[in-house]
Amino acid sequence: MTDPLDRLPAPSPARDRSRRAARSAPLARHGRLPRRSPWKALATTVAAAVAVVAVSGAAVGAIALKQVSDDLGPGVALQGEKTEPAVKQPGAGLAAYKGGFNILIVGTDNDPKQGTSYGVRDATLNDVNILLHVSADHTNATAVSIPRDLVVPIPSCPRTDGQGSTSAQSAAPINSAYGDGGLNCVVQTVKQLTGVDIPFAGQISFNGVIEMSNAIGGVPVCVNKPIHDRYTGLNLPAGTSTLSGADALAFLRSRHGVGDGSDLGRISSQQVYLSSMLRTIKSGGVLGSPTKLYGLARAAASNMTLSNSLNSTSTLISMGSALRDLDLSRVNFVQYPGSTAGTGIYADKVQPDTATAAELFGAIKADRPFTVPAGSTGIGSESSAAAGTGSGAATGAAGGSGTASAGAGGAGAAGGSSAAAGGSGAAGSAAGSGAAGSAGSSASGSSGGATAPATIGSGASTGAAISGLTGQTAADQTCSVAYRF
């Protein structure tokens, strides 16, 4: 069945041009970026945003941090939350957050302030639900993507309009939890499902994807075969393309273009993007650029709605400091275990694999490192070696072109320079010509040919593999699998 969200239009060229103009403003400008318009496709970027806010504090100083602080909107109350102390003048020297922490990231498909730029929906559903866990010693992190159609019990929650409470449900798709109970009800539902305490939560918007990808010069993504998705307008050749702006959003929204056409396939395809984005952020071209760090931090802050407990730069910076040196091979992206083969209440939905889930969340609660079984990336992605992407031309949806060195090499060149680091790749480079003759890809959809940055970090994942789990680490070089059924 076609997901109505997949038919949502891309932002208009006029909106895209206005965003490019905003990004070209000088560092000291006090203007505000577009505010939230909650989205369906990408939520885990908050992990990158937290780390970036920390690093940008050291790079651009207290004045810039004050501007980032001003971009944070009003917070959302969670049941039983403890509000973190805020600081009036955020500084860059805050100590790392003590101990581990859990953050639930939610993406909704509709919002009264969203307008009609991305279409109009009749209801508001929490279609993206990702639980981020960072271990107490800050050496491991796990992001668990929970399928939107996973059937779970939903507890009674206070209504957002203040008129009593919602009715508890014994079995319903998890994406109905937001309903009248808002972000807090999603948090309570996931806490009940996983047994994990969740003191922090946030939502992120369509604009967040666009602005963050643009701020770092685009994200290189690999696909094993050409992808043509008429629902999102995504058209990518086999190999590696650097995506930003509307192209990045279309890639993350694509369901019919990847895997088996299901949301489970989309989740593993999104992990290809997320892992590459983290590698790009960790590269010298971003960490060494105060302007990019500042732009990324403001893009994140301007497009997120956070719980009261998370809604301060002091908290974000202390969490980011804890993540600053985290080895990417110790960052796991995994999917909540489930099956689409169920019957009865699970027909056409996702049935939880309770045994595998118990093992997964037992490890998370105990801060016990674990790994994903080899070759278990999910139905929407595979290793770059399995994809057999040697080198080839990469063209974006709007017609940019370039020759890419794909697979496990370094960053290639887009329009003559690396989209990730502003120069040649670490293990290989390629020359290309962008549609506008500039590095990276434009917000209007062109993409140069560039491979994902080389794996960052020398450490190896530790712990036993959890059988039945699918996913990858942020260090793994993977490619999205084009629709094959």
How far apart (Å, rounded) are the C-alpha atoms in residues 252 and 43?
A: 10
Instruction: List domains and CATH numbers for the chain.
Output: 98-388+470-480 (3.40.630.190)
In sequence order, the 6+-apart residues with CB closer than 8 A to the CB of 347 are: none
- Residues 6 or more apart from 257 whose CB is under 8 A from it? 227, 228, 229, 231, 232, 234, 482, 483
> In terms of pLDDT, which residue wins out, 25 or 349?
349
Give the pairing of strands 401-405 and 391-395. antiparallel
Q: How many residues does the chain have?
A: 485
Lowest average pLDDT, out of 87-91, 184-188, 298-302, goes to: 87-91
CA proximity to 404, closest of 433, 383, 436: 433
* pLDDT band of 33, cuts 50, 70, 90: very low
Distance CA 147, CA 335 (A): 8
Angstrom distances, CA of residue 251 to CA of 74, 147, 209, 270, 470? 30, 18, 11, 8, 20
**What percent of the chain stands above pLDDT 70?**
65
Between the alpha carbon of residue 260 and those of residues 319, 338, 392, 485, the distances in Å are 37, 15, 25, 6
Question: In this predicted model, which residue has the larger pLDDT, 260 or 401?
Answer: 260
State residue 439's pLDDT score: 31
Alpha-carbon gap, residue 263 to 215, rounded angstroms: 28
Per-residue confidence (pLDDT) for residue 293, from 0 to 100: 79
Q: Do β-strands 239-243 and 101-108 pair in parallel, antiparallel, or remain unpaired?
A: unpaired
In this predicted model, which residue has the larger pLDDT, 465 or 204? 465
Q: Please spell the DSSP secondary structure of 389-444, one letter per residue.
A: --EEEEE-TT--EEEEE-SSS---EETTEETTTSS--SS----EE-TTSSSS--TT
Q: Between 15 and 231, whose confidence is greater?
A: 231
Residue 347 burial (CB count, 10 A): 11
Of 104-108, 203-207, 263-267, the one with minimum mean pLDDT is 203-207
Would you state the pLDDT for residue 468?
95
CA-based end-to-end distance of the chain:
14
Average pLDDT of the residues in 415-429: 32
| Model pTM score | 0.74
As a whole number of angstroms, the distance between CA 156 and CA 135 comes to 30
- What is Dmax (Cα atoms) for the chain? 62
Q: In terms of pLDDT, which residue wins out, 320 or 177?
A: 177
Instruction: Give residue for tokens 């206005």.
Output: 18
The pLDDT confidence band at residue 120, using thresholds 50, 70 and 90, is low
Going by C-alpha positions, the residue among 280, 268, 132 that lies closest to residue 204 is 132
pLDDT value of residue 313: 80
Instruction: Choose between 321 and 59: higher pLDDT.
Output: 321
Of 162-176, 235-249, 398-412, the range with the lowest mean pLDDT is 398-412
Q: Is there a contact between 401 and 449 (Cβ–Cβ < 8 Å)?
A: yes
**Under DSSP, is residue 387 helix (H, G, I), strand (E, B) or coil?**
helix
Binned at pLDDT 50, 70 and 90, residue 122 comes out as low
pLDDT, average across residues 250-269:
90
**Exposed (0-12), middle (13-18) or buried (19+): which is 37, by Cβ within 10 Å?**
buried
Measured CA to CA, the distance from residue 276 to residue 10 in angstroms comes to 23
For the segment 12-20, the average pLDDT, to the nearest whole number, is 37
CA 238/CA 257 separation, integer angstroms: 13
State the average pLDDT over residues 243-271: 90
Flag whether pLDDT at 51 surpasses 60.
no
Q: Which of 82-96, 139-153, 202-216, 315-329 has the highest mean pLDDT?
A: 139-153
